[in-house]
Amino acid sequence: MWDKWMRRALDLAALAEGQTSPNPLVGAVVLDRNGRLVGEGFHARAGEPHAEVGALSQAGEAARGGTLVVTLEPCCHHGRTPPCSEAVIGAGIARVVVALKDPDPRVAGGGIAQLREAGVEVIADVLREAALEQNRVFLHRLKTGRPWGILKWAMSLDGRTALPNGLSQWITGPPARAWVHRLRADCDAVIVGGGTVRADNPLLTSRGQRRPEPLRVVLSRSLDLPEKAHLWNVDLAPTVVAHGPEAVGRALASGPERLPLEVCDPKALMEALASRGCNRVLWECGPELAAIALRQGCVQEVAAVVAPKLMGGMAARTPLGDLDIERMEDVPSGTLQQPVGIGDDWLLRFRPRACINSNR
């Protein structure tokens, strides 16, 4: 009987998709004692009020004796905002319906326990699967200490990302390129390697669809980077150049921030980005770096845009470098979702099975 309201709370939560890092998506509705909707809220951004607080405040006195339906267990700790469990109890809520227990070790069932102690009825695990899916990005970071990685590429139907002579602009049409800008707006950081900076001199922004723009990250072993590049203009968007210990002494163009890593690899970079509050990052790199990211478990999703073109070429570039696989049964497999048309192109979204998320 609570599914309908939980669905509504999930829909509210989704309004802030990609905007809440490092926090999860949360939505909440408050029903009065007669079951009528009297308040709605969602968590819009880190530092702003939690979903429950918004919904309770809208409900006001009508919350007394009513029900709070919330996608995530109310927090019980003092963070940037006071604990929600106390606010719920204070508002006189009689029943709390929760989709997901908060896996944050600071909460982890403590919110629910506190509510029950105060005599509030708690119904848990309502639409739990949908809530797990909605917060997969946040949950992945909590579990692994690394952001959820999306690897994006554009290719012709025959799996090419460049002509044999290296030309690659443009494979997909304007609508697909606009979609990539929106995808960036949903991510906290966009990552390329030094080769992409040298070859394409990209902007890597959401074209203003996210403010501030997602962090632009260059992972460069050598710091052999051009003196001038769009990425060095940090007025447009913040830029970080990550490198390993071998490049500590090397100079860098002024503008971007320097991020020294203990090892210059995707895994170390992802850990550094998680500790900066990134929940979701976008890999827009070349095939070699993409293959390493994949092998190090830094790719949770592939977004391949397939253009209605045939490019051919024995020497042409393809999306992924060597994965060092010898047997067909070792090939990383997963799920291809229903393709979505974008202009003349088709978006194929792929989720590798768990095995490829693990460190190998």
Task: Give me the active site residues, please.
Answer: 52
Tally Cβ neighbours within 10 Å of residue 159.
Answer: 15
Shortest distance, CB of residue 159 to a second copy, whole angstroms? 1
Shortest distance, CB of residue 163 to a second copy, whole angstroms? 6
In contact, 192 and 293? CB cutoff 8 Å: no
**C-beta closer to a second copy: residue 8 or 309:** 309
Q: What value, to the nearest 5°, has the Cα angle with vertex 97 and ends 93 and 101?
A: 115
Tally Cβ neighbours within 10 Å of residue 254.
Answer: 8
Distances (CA, A) of 38 to 121, 123, 126, 161: 19, 20, 20, 52
Collapsing DSSP states into helix, strand and coil, what is residue 154? strand
Question: What would the DSSP string read from start to end of 194-213?
Answer: HHHHHHH------TTSSSSP
Collapsing DSSP states into helix, strand and coil, what is residue 218? strand
Q: What are phi and psi of 29, to 5 degrees?
A: -130, 150
Shortest distance, CB of residue 166 to a second copy, whole angstroms? 11
The whole-angstrom separation of Cα 30 and Cα 208 is: 34
Shortest distance, CB of residue 168 to a second copy, whole angstroms? 8
Tally Cβ neighbours within 10 Å of residue 171.
Answer: 22
**C-beta closer to a second copy: residue 251 or 310:** 310
Give the interface with a second copy as residue ranges (CB under 8 A). 155-160, 163-165, 167-171, 287, 291, 294, 302, 304, 306-316, 318-328, 331-336, 338-339, 341, 344-346, 348, 350, 352, 356
**C-beta closer to a second copy: residue 165 or 359:** 165
**C-beta closer to a second copy: residue 44 or 163:** 163
Of the chain, the end-to-end C-alpha distance in Å amounts to: 44
**C-beta closer to a second copy: residue 98 or 311:** 311
**C-beta closer to a second copy: residue 226 or 339:** 339
Pairing of strands 121-123, 95-100: parallel
Q: How far is CA 135 from the centre of its chain?
A: 9
Shortest distance, CB of residue 170 to a second copy, whole angstroms? 7
Shortest distance, CB of residue 216 to a second copy, whole angstroms? 25
Query: Which amino acid type is present at position 34?
Result: N
